[in-house]
Amino acid sequence: MDSRERDFDGRLCLVTGGSGGVGEALVEILVKRGCATLFTYATNQDKARRIVEKLRPVGYVEAFRADLSNYDEVRNLARYVRERQGRLDHLAVLHGLSRGDLWKASWDSLGLEDYMEVLKIDFGGFFNVVKAFKDLMMRARSPSIVAVSSTPALVGDVQGIPYLVAKAAVLALARSLSYLLAPHIRVNVVALGSIET
């Protein structure tokens, strides 16, 4: 393997939503590039186990079931990482609630509780993860956070409105964190379009 392809040797990354389509692809890329990679999943333990079994011969990978909207669970994960690893170099925030009924429903057929459910997971999970891991990331050399938002969150759309609202909130917080955590932690946002996963 070309040395440029192992440019994450000695680094540690946490990927939230690592068992989803984009998350799984990122976990695989990171492990193959030499990054010790931890990832979270919400419900699909079998898929998480398959990802670990596939990638463990290639490099260090570990999966954790976590409700990222629950700060105590996220804090416990941060404590585990601190005790085992002592630092966190990179945080990739890819998790999100994916429910077809919420995606296809008209914006006004939903109640505020439907919007809040998505906000709690997408935005609340992002908030909780950064809050729990920021001090640990301060111990790393050149740490970074990348959050995933959505292009329709920037320009609007006619479907998936609760998701767009939550991803707009993620974008707003990430932009603010890029100032609040500077100069030590870089914070960026990727606004994805449609991806077939």
Task: For residue 197, name the pLDDT band (cuts at 50, 70, 90).
Answer: low
In a domain, 33, yes or no: yes
In a domain, 57, yes or no: yes
**Which residue segment(s) compose the domain that 29 sits in?**
3-192
Give the model confidence (pLDDT) of 52-92 as tens digits.
999 999 999 999 999 999 999 999 999 999 999 999 999 99
CB 124 within 8 A of CB 170: no
Task: For residue 102, name the pLDDT band (cuts at 50, 70, 90).
Answer: confident
CA distance 39 to 133: 14
CB 125 within 8 A of CB 69: yes
In a domain, 197, yes or no: no
CATH number at residue 176: 3.40.50.720
pLDDT at residue 99, as a whole number: 79
Is the pLDDT confidence value at 36 over 90? yes
Residues in contact with 16: Cβ distance below 8 Å, sequence separation at least 6, in sequence order? 23, 39, 40, 66, 68, 91, 92, 93, 94, 95, 125, 129
pLDDT at residue 196, as a whole number: 63
Residues in contact with 148: Cβ distance below 8 Å, sequence separation at least 6, in sequence order? 22, 92, 93, 94, 96, 167, 170, 189, 190, 191, 192
pLDDT at residue 194, as a whole number: 67
In a domain, 66, yes or no: yes
pLDDT at residue 3, as a whole number: 52
Q: Average pLDDT of the chain?
A: 93
In a domain, 152, yes or no: yes
Task: For residue 2, name the pLDDT band (cuts at 50, 70, 90).
Answer: low
Give the model confidence (pLDDT) of 125-163 as tens digits.
999 999 999 999 999 999 999 999 988 888 889 988 999
Q: Express as a percent the part of the chain with pLDDT over 70.
A: 96
The amino acid at 122: D
Number of domains in the chain: 1
In a domain, 60, yes or no: yes
Task: For residue 186, name the pLDDT band (cuts at 50, 70, 90).
Answer: very high
CA distance 196 to 149: 16
pLDDT at residue 6, as a whole number: 74
In a domain, 21, yes or no: yes
